[in-house]
A and B are shown apart, each in its own frame.
Chain A
Amino acid sequence: MSLASLISPHLPVLTVLLPAFTAMLLVLIGDSRERLVLARRIALASVTLGLLLALKLALDAHGGELRVYRVGDWPAPFGIVLVVDRLSALMLVLTQAVALPVLLYASGGWDSHGRHFHALIQFQLMGLCGAFVTGDLFNLFVFFEVLLIASYVLLVHGQGRERFRVGVHYVAINLAASALFLIGVALIYAVTGTLNMADLAQRVPLVTGDETLVLKAAALILLVVFGVKAAMLPLYLWLPATYAAASAPVAALFALMTKVGVYSIVRVHGVIFGADGGASALVVEPWLLPLALGTSTLAVFGALAAQTLPRLVAYLTIASVGTILASLGLFSTAAWSAALYYMAHSTLVIAALFLLVELVASQRGDADSRLEPGAPVAQPVLLGLMLLLAAASAAGLPPLPGFIGKLMVLQASSGHDAQVWIWIVVLSVGFLTLVGLARAGSLLFWSTRPELAGTGTSAGASSKLVLATIALLIGGVAMTVLADPLKRYTDAAAAQLTDHRAYALGVLGGEGVDTTRPYVFPRPAAGVPAGQGAEGEP
């Protein structure tokens, strides 16, 4: 027990350190042919451990405990803090729950198509977990970069001309977004003098006068940044080509990356610039909901027009992000709870779909992933049922969790001004998703060209690949069975987000704690912000 009590206070940082050290170990081991099995085992063991760790944190967080880890024991807000509340713990569990089947799937062969696959996945997980536990805005940027750099390399895993072409686009747009992120963060720091999220939630309401404008500009710049990551209208154009070009396990893991953007929008625009934000309260409210509904609508049209399977799933990713963001845009705890539930479900289903369409495509001979009649697949019943399950869940048919999630969103929107729009968009997007997937399904399994039978793989997918995909689907379906406890958890998570007092108490040790501000309160004569000296001084 003494070991447990020794480790227990360090759990938040372990979620980051575990993948970090595993990644370093995997780099050292290398991935030559004879060591690949060892690398796979280490990676799988590490992610399993990470999942257990995340579950333990979630169970603790469920009881209402706010875990705060002060790195280097520097007091907040001067040092960096890692904070695990219900939302963070939920995201950690989701990350590992997606990563484990994806790793299993990749161990079926994809990991031997390029170098250092497992190490890169671990670095990506390190960035994801870090972004979810950090309680500091600049630290969030650093973890964004960690996960992005890993994703740059993972995207081109397997190589090929198309991957390098979209790789350059992907890197360029993300570097531009990172530059904007830094500008937003620097503006916030210039006005408030802090980047600690708990401290910011205290300081932002105090900002008044002209400085509010700077702060609002910073918040909107950050919305652009997170909008790029989350693939929000009109910043989603990079996503379909990128996700469609990536190898299946990488695309499935990337389903998590859009959720980092969503998570950051919750943390920054939902909490810091939320209803209690004083003069800069709810600065993104007029933008978020219309943009989210537009994202969903356009994405589902994209899905209907898609020519290949991965592109279809990529557009469905964007459509689901639109639904989540629309729910967030309602700015109520009930809607946030719905958004969290729907996010967890849609991530699992989208990841499963990415894996599934590759399984199907690999059995269709020359037609591959193109949506046109091709060779009949070797395992029509198994794959067909899996696609049916995933499609029904993605579209939101009862009793699958997609239905419950959308129902929660619709319920939460009652009484809102835009209720009619939300109902129209959510319901018609669900219907069109079903149409798109039904079209794909009938093409894949019924409208085949029997004369080509035998040109595809006749043996069927290896059990490892099928098992990994089924695991993700089961995870999705389990969300129906566990809907009640999960909803209670997401309700509590949403309520916790609005409780600034408890958050400040946990992180800073009290509300309105005096933290040194070198120039903000009061500002010395020399401290004219750089942007305001334009008229020149005599």
Chain B
Amino acid sequence: MNVSMEFLVASGIGWVTACGVFLMLRGRSFPVVLGLTLIGYAVNVFIFAMGRLWTSAPPIIGNGEVIADPLPQALVLTAIVIGFATTGFVIELALRSHHESGTDQVDGKEPGA
């Protein structure tokens, strides 16, 4: 059976997003950060795929050959950089919050405490 690249990429993005959403709804900040990171990855691939999936097409205008759209690639680069910075920040913030409240729970208190 031949599965198209679009199907693979789409279901891959869907799976990673689902995992990310699941993790983001957890009660501890570490899984939440992981979930946000996973969603960030899925979104990055999603943006990339929105320029359509091309095979053996360079993102530069050449000799009339098929060219891939370079713009989503540029967009995704920006998104990666921003995502990286915010992830770094949120980890630091979660650590600090842990030190302040003494727990990793996002509500600042252990369940039942």
Q: Select which of A156, A183, A529, A535 is within 8 A of B52 by beta carbon.
A: A529
For A171-185 the 0/1 string (1 means CB < 8 A from B) is: 110011011001101
Minimum distance in angstroms from B21 CB to a CB of chain A: 9
Residue pair A164, B52 in contact (C-beta under 8 Å):
no
- Kindly state whether residue B79 has any CB partner on chain A within 8 Å: yes
A238 at the binding interface (Cβ < 8 Å): no
Residues of A close to B66: CB separation below 8 A: 524, 526
| Size bracket, chain B contacts | 35 or more
Closest Cβ neighbor of A189 among chain B residues: B50
Closest Cβ of chain A to B9, distance in Å, is: 5
Across-interface contacts of A535 in B (CB, < 8 A): 7
Q: Evaluate contact between B10 and A167: CB separation under 8 angstroms.
A: no
B90 contacts A by Cβ under 8 Å: yes
- Chain A, 177-204, CB within 8 A of any chain B CB: 178-179, 182-183, 185-187, 189-190
CB distance from B15 to the nearest CB of A (A): 13
Q: Does A536 contact B (CB under 8 A)?
A: yes
Known: A186-B46, A187-B50. A530 touches B89 (CB 8 A): no
Q: Which residue of A lies closest to B11 (CB)?
A: A534
Is B60 at the interface (CB under 8 A from chain A)?
A: no
A169 CB–B CB distance under 8 Å: yes
Q: Is A485 an interface residue (CB 8 A)?
A: no
How far apart are the CA atoms of A519 and B72 in the complex, in Å? 13
Any A CB within 8 A of the CB of B19: no
Candidates B4, B55, B94, B107; contact of A536 at CB < 8 Å: B4
Kindly report which residue of chain B lies nearest to residue A170, judged by CB atoms.
B93
Q: Establish whether residues B46 and A164, one from each chain, have CB atoms under 8 Å apart when the complex forms.
A: no
B52 engages A526 (CB within 8 Å): yes
Q: Which of A175, A179, A190 contacts B50 (CB 8 A)?
A: A190
Bound-state CA distance A182–B82 (Å) is 11
Given A165-B108, A172-B32, A190-B50 in contact, is the A530-B75 Cβ separation under 8 Å?
no
Chain A 507-538 near chain B by CB (<8 Å), digits 1 or 0 = 00000000000110000101111111111111
Q: Given A175-B90, A528-B52, A538-B2: A165 and B101 within 8 A (CB)? A: yes
Over the window 135-169 of chain A, the binary record of Cβ atoms lying under 8 Å from chain B Cβ atoms (1 yes, 0 no) is: 00010001001000100100010011100110111
Asked if residues B24 and A537 are in contact (CB atoms below 8 Å), the reply is no
Which residues in B have their C-beta under 8 angstroms from that of A527? Answer: 52
Interface size on A, residues (CB 8 A): 43
Contact in complex: B2, A536 (CB < 8 Å)? yes
Minimal Cβ-Cβ distance residue in A for B39? A179
Q: How far is the CB of A71 from chain B (nearest CB, A)?
A: 14
B42 and chain A: residue at smallest CB distance? A179
Bits for B47-65, please: 1 = Cβ < 8 Å to A, else 0. 1011111110000000000
Residue among A152, A159, A176, A187 with the most chain B CB within 10 A? Answer: A176
Residues from chain B with Cβ under 8 Å of A179 in the complex:
36, 39-40, 43
Q: B36–A531 contact, CB under 8 A?
A: no
Knowing A176-B36, A533-B5, say if A186 contacts B75 (CB, 8 Å): yes
Q: Which residue of chain A has the shortest Cβ distance to B54 in the bound complex?
A: A526
Give every chain A residue within 8 A of B3 (Cβ-Cβ): 536-537
B108 CB to nearest A CB, Å: 4
- Chain B positions 57-89 with a Cβ under 8 Å from a chain A Cβ: 66-67, 69, 71-72, 75, 78-79, 82, 85-86, 89
Q: Please state if A537 and B75 are interface contacts (CB–CB under 8 Å).
A: no
Hey, which chain B residues are within 8 Å of A518, CB to CB?
Answer: 67, 69
Is B9's CB under 8 angstroms from A156's CB?
no
Are B93 and A530 in touch, CB under 8 angstroms? no
Instruction: With CB as the reference atom, state the residue of chain B lying closest to A519.
Output: B52
CA–CA, A529 and B36, complex, Å: 25
A152 to B2, alpha carbons, bound, how many Å? Answer: 47
Q: A9-22, CB under 8 A of B: which get 1 and which 0?
A: 00000000000000
Do B2 and A172 touch (CB < 8 A)?
no
Q: In the assembled complex, how far is the CB of residue A180 from the closest CB belonging to chain B, in whole angstroms?
A: 8
In the complex the two chains form, is A533's CB within 8 Å of B6's CB?
Answer: yes
State in angstroms the CA–CA spacing of A379 and B82 once bound together. Answer: 47
- Residue of chain B at shortest CB distance from A174: B86
B49 partner residues in chain A, CB cutoff 8 A: 530
| Known A-B contacts A527-B52, A533-B5; A164 and B72 likewise in contact (beta carbons under 8 Å) | no
Residues of B bordering A, CB below 8 Å: 1-7, 9-11, 13, 24, 29, 32, 36, 39-40, 43, 46-47, 49-55, 66-67, 69, 71-72, 75, 78-79, 82, 85-86, 89-90, 93-94, 96-97, 100-101, 106-108
Return 6 A-B CB contacts under 8 Å, by A number.
A165-B107, A175-B36, A176-B39, A178-B82, A182-B47, A518-B69
